[in-house]
Amino acid sequence: MTTLLKSATIIDSSSPFHKQTKDILIIDGVISEINDTISEKDEYTIVSLDNLHVSTGWFDTSVSLGEPGYEERENIANGLDVAAKSGFTQIAINANTHPVVDNKSAVEFLINKAIHKPVSVFPIGALTQKSQGVEMAELYDMQQSGAIAFGDYKKPVENDNLLKIALLYAQNFDGLVLSFPKNNKIAGEGIANEGLNSTRLGLKGIPSLAEEIQVARDLFLLEYTGGKLHIPTISTEKSVQLIREAKSKGLHVTCSVAVHNLVITDDALHGFDANNNVNPPLRTEQDVIALVEGIKDGTIDIITSDHNPIDIEHKKVEFSISKSGTVGMESAFGALQTKLDLETIIKCLSDNPKTIFGLETSSIHINQKADLTLFNPEGEFKFSQEDILSTSKNSIFIGHNLKGKAYGIYAKNQLLLNT
């Protein structure tokens, strides 16, 4: 297969062609030529799109696809199609399934489902058996089968000693441990950020303290044990400060933030739309400002869509009894462009997550494997239900003004476009 990308602006700070508009010729999955103009031939697949930009492929580190067990929310085949059309060449799948991905067979099942797809799948194995927080799962066996990290999705490790042992044990095979930042005893039955809006609306609050006290505990344990810790989807100003201080001390800690926590505040709760029920909850404008600053100064390493399809039976209900979660891959790029510059977005969607999760990094060079995201950073539009590609339609961004769209991807010698 030979593909010619016409007049593509390259966004790749490690490439000699960074910010240059070039034609890119790809033969059998490898970049064979980059030049001002490359002649077209009949056998070429020509890609000529308005204001075409390309970067190294994006990697989403927190994706839930339902299968196995919750196929009514999203199956793997459709989820991978959504990922590709949203610009992601690689995704990490959470152990948010039934049964939980807590053994090597479950890991291999997910990987084999994507073997012929352009999007690569990297399972995150459960840290504990059945994600129940009692006994540690088979971490080493799962890693040998392809798991890239270990964490119980949206479930904090409540047993301090268990997290300590996991951090110590994982060092034997350079494993990455994830710890969701939430103290359930403090959060209680809360469903919204504890503050002015939750009080006005009569919603049970989750104080910022519930996240921050867990982050502080995790950092103390990491300082004691060593190893590698990743804290997914932080949401508060104090969490940013704690992680910034830990990094300054040399601790091997990384963290991510969900797109919606970067863009939307708890002011959106007025109206009681259950699509705004997410975990961690939407926070204040002050928190959002701190999160954006954390990305800019390198405290926050990764941005994730935190894609979590929820079926209509659990979303089209009262806010207080709805299930938390939002689909997010389709809207991720357009939403981020309302807050951050393009190069920062690419860094947090591509270079940083691949490095932290131990994936092979790439660059747009001649004779390099083509793993590319195709997109247009211009053009504003209002995101609607028709823009949702997922089986479930629970998007927090419905009705929001976004900027720019992903065209699709070229990866594993396959071209898949959302056109």
pLDDT for 160 beyond 80: yes
pLDDT in tens, 214-269: 999 999 999 999 999 999 999 999 999 999 999 999 999 999 999 999 999 999 99
Please give the backbone phi and psi of residue 124, each rounded to the nearest 5 degrees, phi first: -100, 115
Q: Could you say which of 301, 306, 311, 351 is catalytic?
A: 306
Task: Give tens-digit pLDDT for 51-105.
Answer: 999 999 999 999 999 999 999 999 999 999 999 999 999 999 999 999 999 999 9
Band (399; pLDDT cuts 50, 70, 90)? very high
Of 137, 82, 69, the C-alpha closest to 393 is: 82
Question: Would you say residue 419 has pLDDT above 80?
Answer: no
What pLDDT score does 25 carry? 97
- Biggest distance spanned by C-alpha atoms of the chain: 65
pLDDT, position 385: 95
In whole numbers, what is the pLDDT of the chain averaged over residues?
96
Average pLDDT over residues 165-185: 98
Of the candidate CATH numbers 3.30.230.10, 3.40.50.2020, 3.40.30.10, 3.20.20.140, the domain formed by 56-356 belongs to 3.20.20.140
% pLDDT > 90, the chain: 99
Query: What's the whole-number mean pLDDT along residues 374-401?
Result: 96
Amino acid at position 307, single letter = H
Kindly indicate the confidence band of residue 1, based on its pLDDT and cuts at 50, 70 and 90: confident
Judge contact between 150 and 137, C-beta under 8 A. yes
**pTM of the predicted model, to two decimals?**
0.96
Distance CA 232, CA 345 (A): 17
The domain locations on the chain are 2-53+367-417, 56-356
C-alpha gyration radius of the chain: 21
Cα–Cα distances in angstroms (integers) from residue 340 to residues 264, 289, 346, in the given order = 14, 12, 10
Q: Would the CA dihedral through 57, 86, 192, 279 be positive or negative?
A: negative
- Helix/strand/coil for 284: coil
Note if 351 is an active site residue.
Answer: no
CB 23 within 8 A of CB 38: yes
CATH of 2-53+367-417 among 3.30.360.10, 2.30.40.10, 1.25.40.10, 2.60.200.30: 2.30.40.10
